[in-house]
């Protein structure tokens, strides 16, 4: 065999060994399970494959400027884990980032493109080869081999090192994807807080610690009041930003070691560990309520929300995670019922009440499916003519076990469960159809009043339901009146005003019910397109005996008439009350004097028997004034 043939065989053998070593390297690198092992394997194989004196694997920091020696071979111990700024101390790294192709240096002593890095100079490095790991322009790091002799690395070395870097980059991408999937399984992507599953896990761990240390632990269940209004008014992007800001404020309210989680939607929870007393949980709740009541800046719009919070304490309110969360949730709903923007501690009595409400909610769902509701009607009489001009439709539920229930006994549960929307639609349909039947039977001027829940307005269904009921029944819009409570627009006046304006555009009248007992009597008259006010029966009851009640009723009537509004007085039970109201120029009266709420057939009979006139013409209606002097009526 000639010398030339021998050299060719050696070269072929070398290439074969290189390919075999690269294949082995790919296998070993890809199957490494730990990142540290993965990086150490890569450096070890590079050192062996390139026959290099030193190897290094640098990882770039998130800012793109700092680098750290994550794995290496042949370096002095003091360089391990060291950070530096490449723009200040290692111009070679900066060059490599600007020219992302493999960097081959034959001899640092003759290099003119950059200075020999301090790390290499300190170890007598003469030649080197480095390649980027990961995507060009946004690398994960740099992999390189170095020698104390010049001209050691060849084009084959470049291919070998690039293959290792590509395989390593793919493995790191997979590892990053797995980490991301693991993160997504445990954290809320919107707020970055632990999600429901991780929160339960953290709560379980905290309970183990609390039991071991013999200390109390607090759970705060937080629900945002009025969050849906933000979504409806400003869009879901604004809602998402609000949730992110809420998360940051909640984190600011707790200590290190406590856990804040997002359970879903606009519901959050906090685990407060190592409580000396239960009062400490209340202090955190007070801080949360105060923080969330402060305005939020949503793209230049000042937005206000509040929070309702329920508190449960380990071990008194439960010893496992699910029970503690359930009890805190129960307390939170009690807080909502008490006006929102507050916190409520759990108690057994609350739980019993909540159990009853859950049972009632289940029965209500069955009632909707079985059509167990009906409407009763109470006449409204014009005081100047004594004739029936309208009726108020009142919801009743024929409960299979408890008998007939008035709306006040179940309407709150209907609102909480969302069933109020379906029930409200049925009320509109039934009331409009029945009123149209009475108009065709000879009472063409009758109008019907329907009570509407604030929840129905918040959910944006009232306009559609009313319009559809009018179209199906044939009732004219001017013969439908919607009755609202005074506090209907307290949470979001703008949203309510828009809905009420749409109803008015349809020709539907709006009335404020129980006037004088709510939170915003005067502002409701000013801000909403109201055409009628109804004086609450608490003022009507004693008007012929109590000067204060008489003065209030007179003042309300005078003010309403000045604003071009009609007045209805509820709870009229005697002719003396009716006479007083007539002399005060009240427009309409309603109460047991004319009839209790009754079924449709009975109401039709009442109309026919009385020929539509229910107010008797007696001396008490036109006789002398009460013993105390009446104020002047405008």
Give per-residue pLDDT as tens, 194-230: 999 889 999 999 999 999 998 999 999 999 988 887 8
Answer yes or no: are the C-beta atoms of 129 and 50 closer than 8 Å: yes
Confidence (pLDDT) at 16: 37
Confidence (pLDDT) at 439: 95
Confidence (pLDDT) at 34: 62
> Pairing between strand 388-399 and 447-451?
parallel
Confidence (pLDDT) at 627: 40
Structure tokens at 346: 């759990």
Q: What are phi and psi of 298, to 5 degrees?
A: -110, 95
Residue with tokens 């790919």: 26
Characterize 224-246 residue by residue with b for buried, 16 or more Cβ atoms within 10 angstroms of its Cβ, and e for exposed: bbbbbbbebbbeeebbebbbebb
Task: Give dist(CA 540, CA 536) in Å, integer.
Answer: 7
Please tell me the chain's helix, strand, coil percentages from 3-state DSSP, rounded to the nearest 5.
50, 25, 30
Helix (H, G, I), strand (E, B) or coil at 443: coil
Q: Domain 368-622 is of which CATH architecture?
A: Alpha-Beta Barrel (3.20)
**CATH fold of 196-346, please?**
Alpha-Beta Plaits (3.30.70)
Domain 15-184 has CATH 3.30.70.270: no
Q: With residue 273 as reference, give the H or E element that holds it.
A: strand 267-275
Crossing angle of helices 35-50 and 155-186, rounded to 10° = 180
> Pairing between strand 509-515 and 532-535?
parallel
Answer yes or no: are the C-beta atoms of 512 and 474 closer than 8 Å: no
Confidence (pLDDT) at 81: 54
Confidence (pLDDT) at 170: 80
Domain ranges of the chain: 15-184, 196-346, 368-622
Residues in the chain predicted with pLDDT less than 50, given as ranges, are 1-17, 19-21, 23-33, 85-88, 136, 489-491, 519-520, 618-634
Burial of 324 (0-12, 13-18, 19+ CB in 10 A): buried
Strand partners, 310: 221, 344
Q: What are phi and psi of 138, to 5 degrees?
A: -145, 65
Sign, CA torsion 287/289/294/297: positive
Confidence (pLDDT) at 490: 47
Answer yes or no: are the C-beta atoms of 15 and 160 closer than 8 Å: no
């Amino acid at each position: 065999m000639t010398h030339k043939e021998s050299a060719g065989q050696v070269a072929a053998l070398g290439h074969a060994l290189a390919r075999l070593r690269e294949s082995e390297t790919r296998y070993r690198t890809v199957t490494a399970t730990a990142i540290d092992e993965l990086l150490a394997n890569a450096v070890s194989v590079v050192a062996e494959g390139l026959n290099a004196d030193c190897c290094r694997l640098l990882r770039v920091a998130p800012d793109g400027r700092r680098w750290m020696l994550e794995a290496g071979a042949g370096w002095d111990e003091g360089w391990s884990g060291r950070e530096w700024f490449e723009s200040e101390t290692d111009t070679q790294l900066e060059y490599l980032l600007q020219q992302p192709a493999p960097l081959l240096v034959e001899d640092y002593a003759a290099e003119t493109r950059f200075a020999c890095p301090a790390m290499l100079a300190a170890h007598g490095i003469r030649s080197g080869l480095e390649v980027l790991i990961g995507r060009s322009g946004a690398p994960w790091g740099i992999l390189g081999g170095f020698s104390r002799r010049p001209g050691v690395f060849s084009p084959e070395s470049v291919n070998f090192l690039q293959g290792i870097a590509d395989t390593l980059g793919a493995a790191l991408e997979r590892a990053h994807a797995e980490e991301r999937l693991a993160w997504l399984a445990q954290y809320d992507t919107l707020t970055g807080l632990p999600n429901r599953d991780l929160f339960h896990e953290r709560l379980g761990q905290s309970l183990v610690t609390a039991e071991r240390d013999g200390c109390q632990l607090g759970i705060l269940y937080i629900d945002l009041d009025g969050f849906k209004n933000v979504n409806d008014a400003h869009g879901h992007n604004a809602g998402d930003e609000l949730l992110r800001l809420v998360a940051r404020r909640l984190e600011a309210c707790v200590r290190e070691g406590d856990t804040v989680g997002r359970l879903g939607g606009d519901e959050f929870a906090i685990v407060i560990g190592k409580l000396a007393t239960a009062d400490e949980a209340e202090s955190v709740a007070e801080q949360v309520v105060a923080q969330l009541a402060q305005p939020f800046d949503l793209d230049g719009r000042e937005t206000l929300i509040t929070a309702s919070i329920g508190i449960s304490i380990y071990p008194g309110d439960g010893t496992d995670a699910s029970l503690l969360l359930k009890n805190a949730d129960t307390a939170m709903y009690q807080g909502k019922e008490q006006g929102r923007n507050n916190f409520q501690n759990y108690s057994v009595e609350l739980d019993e009440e909540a159990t009853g409400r859950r049972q009632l909610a289940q029965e209500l769902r069955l009632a909707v499916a079985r059509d167990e509701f009906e409407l009763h009607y109470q006449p409204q009489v014009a005081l100047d003519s004594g004739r029936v001009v309208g009726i108020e439709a009142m919801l009743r539920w024929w409960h299979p076990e408890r008998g007939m229930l008035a709306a006040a006994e179940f309407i709150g549960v209907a609102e909480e469960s969302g069933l109020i929307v379906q029930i409200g639609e049925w009320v509109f349909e039934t009331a409009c159809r029945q009123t149209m039947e009475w108009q065709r039977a000879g009472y063409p001027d009758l109008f019907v009043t329907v009570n509407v829940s604030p929840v129905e307005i918040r959910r944006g269904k009232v306009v559609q339901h009313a319009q559809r009921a009018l179209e199906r029944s044939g009732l004219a819009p001017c013969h439908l009146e919607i009755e609202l409570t005074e506090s209907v627009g307290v949470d979001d006046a703008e949203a309510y005003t828009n809905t009420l304006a749409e109803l008015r555009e349809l020709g539907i009248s709006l009335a404020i019910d129980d006037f004088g007992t709510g939170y915003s009597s005067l502002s409701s008259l000013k801000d909403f397109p109201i055409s009628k006010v109804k004086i609450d029966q608490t003022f009507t009851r004693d008007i012929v005996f109590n000067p204060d009640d008489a003065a209030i009723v007179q003042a309300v009537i005078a003010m309403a008439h000045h604003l071009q509004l009609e007045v209805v007085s509820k709870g009229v039970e005697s002719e003396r009350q009716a006479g007083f109201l007539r002399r005060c120029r009240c427009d309409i009266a309603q109460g047991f004097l004319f009839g209790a709420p009754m079924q449709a057939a009975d109401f039709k009979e009442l109309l026919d028997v009385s020929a539509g006139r229910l107010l008797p013409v007696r001396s008490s209606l036109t006789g002398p004034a009460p013993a105390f002097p009446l104020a002047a009526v405008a």
